[in-house]
Amino acid sequence: MTTAKRDAYTPETLLSVAVQVFNERGYDGTSMEHLSRAAGISKSSIYHHVAGKEELLRRAVSRALDGLFGILDEEHAREGRSADRLQYVIRRMVEVLITELPYVTLLLRVRGNTSTERWALDRRRDFDHRVADLLRAAADDGDVRGDVEVRLATRLVFGMINSIVEWYRPDGRGAGEREVGDAVVRLVFGGLRKAE
């Protein structure tokens, strides 16, 4: 990372540096001193932009949450059969995870020690419930198997999707966003078993 000039700093670039440091050191393990060194600007310059590291955390996880909740407002998530809406939401979740990789990574690592972290956990839970509702509706329509309890299925499907942040590297060498999205949709809906 090159040291940026103070004048070049915007809340946006500061946020991007902060998220990287939070993901490397953990939020608890990050001090304003760490942020100042990583950003190459003084602590007082940081305080010019934000009230402290908790505000940076709130902005960062908001970006991830806005991306995820935004999906639910899209046309294909609102209209049509529940199973089709669910499939659309799952594919878009993969896209948001990959597009906003550092922000979603941070969101998934939040633990709940501060009020901002607890708020983020609550919002994550809300999102999980919205997707679980869709899965339940699809099961009620008879389009999705009914022999796996809805909350358990949601947890396992989220486990698969969220694991992407652990191994996805946007360096163009591994699978791309499209390939990962296709794989998740195929596995979540059809499983490994060969289609007859």
Q: Which of 37, 125, 155, 178 binds a copy of itself (CB under 8 A)?
A: 155
**CA distances to 60, 70, 137 from 64, in Å:** 7, 10, 26
Biggest distance spanned by C-alpha atoms of the chain: 64
Among 144, 169, 170, 172, binds a copy of itself (CB under 8 A): 144
| Residue 159 within binding range of a copy of itself, rule CB under 8 A | yes
Contact status: 26 vs a copy of itself (CB under 8 A): yes
180 contributes a contact to a copy of itself by CB under 8 A: yes
Nearer to a copy of itself, 114 or 162 (CB): 162
Crossing angle of helices 53-73/82-99, nearest 10°?
Answer: 150
- The answer to whether residues 63 and 16 touch, using CB atoms and an 8 Å cutoff, is no
Among 10, 74, 78, 187, binds a copy of itself (CB under 8 A): 187
Interface segment toward a copy of itself; rule CB under 8 A; list 11-19, 39-47, 65-73, 162-170: 162-170
Q: Are 80 and 97 in contact (CB under 8 A)?
A: no
**Angle formed at CA 59 by CA 165 and CA 108, multiple of 5 degrees:** 25
Q: Which span sits near a copy of itself by CB under 8 A: 5-13, 57-65, 114-122, 164-172?
A: 164-172
179 binds a copy of itself (CB under 8 A): yes
- Tokens describing residue 166: 């652990």
How far CA 175 is from CA of 46, 168, 181, in Å, comes to: 37, 8, 10
By CB under 8 A, name the binding residues for a copy of itself. Answer: 26, 29, 135, 138, 142-149, 152-153, 155-164, 166-167, 175, 179-180, 182-184, 186-195
